[in-house]
Structure 1
């Protein structure tokens, strides 16, 4: 960052919204979600929103969400935005530096964030602060009018019930997918460890579907029903099992969405598996390379990050 730029941090406020819109106007072709959720983020008790100002002008912002994972206090750094005039000046580095200060003050044990596969500056920032790369993720979408129904298959599909918790949990923790990203799942754009209590809740909401060959579970999906910009979708946060059956299960989900009159699309954010990616593309799913993501994690349990920075 240029030394003559005096950066001041403070908590975000509702009246910052016009400035937030200005900062976000060029993000995702003008379709950034942040202005639409600004008030919601400010009101959520487990989220802190910070803005950075230069000469009383809003130059950047971020959100820090606190979660509990089996007694471990974790932080999720997201909603990072830098105003166009201040890009390429190291502002993202300063935003993360401030977030780490906050995390240390609040004795949070782990800090995580995700960024695009092609966002090289944020990869370098992660390396400089000592973050480790947990996994890379592929983003796939499917529409009902494009994806065919599974054909010539002896697989049956059904929702798993709450009393099948052990079956589902054992399948997940013994899967290759569990090993690929150490048990994380992308739950509506927030990555966190998939826990037994999460799975219990999903089963209660009929949000766990399996593909069975006879009595044998061959593939399993965990998902949400999300609504965004007047469109509804199934957001698959975890998918595992036999590759061919995974693809068939994804086809099934596309065609068995329950919402009317709006039709669901299927969105999947899954740890990159070249074999699955190939089968999904052959089936008609679109894998968008520009939406591939990386998940980074920094452990703060042993020593303060500032002592490791060089």
Structure 2
């Protein structure tokens, strides 16, 4: 049996995506994550986003790869959604896509580019080492599926962020351990005073306090069937109270799961494992400084 001739890497072209690329990209996504790839659901938004960049890779006119980038702040670009057709892997297409997005971010005057991948994705880790993307932080994902019927006492939802609250949070060791970021599940965002204020205004911040002093705080975000604690800081016993409130809200809102993202060396990991949470994944976040 004669194998079809392997395409050469120098025939790979990178260009801005157009509407006609949707069908071949959705075909590529069909078998990713057992058919549960999120990319088909965001394709139209990415294509319409004038502040982001959606690109594809082609070989002899055939669309065989895709990637997306957006500016989270004027200084920070987030790279995501790299997909390559299985018949065209090994040609350096992922590297070409990421380099093109890094160049786009540099031209937009971003200071850093960030992205993430699962710890089990060996090919992605090798690729990131090859294109010199340093590891920024490792996060563990812990899930709980059992809700609570009893509402914990003394947990509040502040509708605004005070200067004192932000100063408490940004001075906590957890803030540095999270590299001044919070997560919504698979994307890590800069945790700025403005972002925190926005989440507080939307009722996505939970707080415990004693004698008017903050003891613990978390950002709780909702998406489809999952609630995500994408940042948490405070005394372990008070954090436990926040987690119980999150499990109570999971039941109230009829969500399937509560997900918590914690830095790999966080002492809170063991505490959560003792209270109905299970480790379900490890995610690596990378950051590359962009030179002028």
* TM surpasses 0.5: yes
Structure 2 equivalent of residue 157 of structure 1: 155
- State which of 14, 18, 27 in structure 2 corresponds to 1:9: 14
Alignment partner of 1:295 is 2:285: yes
Deviation at 1:82, TM superposition (A): 1.0
Residues 56 and 65 of structure 1: is their aligned pair in 2 closer, same or farther, counting only changes over 3 Å?
Answer: same
Residues 107 and 147 of structure 1: is their aligned pair in 2 closer, same or farther, counting only changes over 3 Å?
Answer: same
Deviation at 1:214, TM superposition (A): 5.0
Deviation at 1:106, TM superposition (A): 3.2
Structure 2 equivalent of residue 234 of structure 1: 227
Tell me the distance in 2 between the aligned counterparts of 1:60 and 1:23.
8
Residues 3 and 161 of structure 1: is their aligned pair in 2 closer, same or farther, counting only changes over 3 Å?
Answer: same
Deviation at 1:5, TM superposition (A): 5.1
Deviation at 1:49, TM superposition (A): 0.7
Structure 1 equivalent of residue 169 of structure 2: 172
Give the 3-state SS of the residue equivalent to 1:238 in structure 2: strand
- State which of 122, 125, 129 in structure 2 corresponds to 1:123: 125
Residues 282 and 149 of structure 1: is their aligned pair in 2 closer, same or farther, counting only changes over 3 Å?
Answer: farther
Please report the RMSD computed on the Cα atoms of aligned residues, expressed in angstroms. Answer: 2.5
Deviation at 1:274, TM superposition (A): 4.7
Deviation at 1:243, TM superposition (A): 2.4
Deviation at 1:258, TM superposition (A): 8.7
Alignment partner of 1:273 is 2:265: yes
Structure 1 equivalent of residue 3 of structure 2: none
Deviation at 1:110, TM superposition (A): 1.5
Residues 109 and 66 of structure 1: is their aligned pair in 2 closer, same or farther, counting only changes over 3 Å?
Answer: same
Q: Provide TM-score, normalisation by structure 2.
A: 0.88
Contact 2:29–2:35, Cα closer than 8 Å, also in 1? yes
Deviation at 1:201, TM superposition (A): 1.2
Alignment partner of 1:253 is 2:208: no
Deviation at 1:159, TM superposition (A): 1.1
Greater shift, 184-193 or 280-289, is seen at 184-193
Residues 89 and 243 of structure 1: is their aligned pair in 2 closer, same or farther, counting only changes over 3 Å?
Answer: farther
Structure 2 equivalent of residue 308 of structure 1: none
Structure 2 equivalent of residue 52 of structure 1: 57
- State which of 144, 149, 163 in structure 2 corresponds to 1:142: 144
Residues 114 and 270 of structure 1: is their aligned pair in 2 closer, same or farther, counting only changes over 3 Å?
Answer: same
Tell me the distance in 2 between the aligned counterparts of 1:87 and 1:212.
53
- State which of 179, 183, 202 in structure 2 corresponds to 1:182: 179
Q: Provide TM-score, normalisation by structure 1.
A: 0.83
Gaps of 5+ in 2: 1-5
- State which of 178, 189, 192 in structure 2 corresponds to 1:192: 189
Gaps of 5+ in 1: 304-310
Aligned length: 287
Alignment partner of 1:205 is 2:194: no
- State which of 72, 82, 86 in structure 2 corresponds to 1:67: 72
Structure 2 equivalent of residue 26 of structure 1: 31
Tell me the distance in 1 between the aligned counterparts of 2:137 and 2:221.
21
Runs of 4 or more, structure 1, over 6 Å off, are none
Alignment partner of 1:221 is 2:218: yes
Residues 265 and 149 of structure 1: is their aligned pair in 2 closer, same or farther, counting only changes over 3 Å?
Answer: same
Q: Deviations over 1:169-209 (max 9, x none)?
A: 12211212112132111145332321111111112111111
Give the 3-state SS of the residue equivalent to 2:162 in structure 1: helix
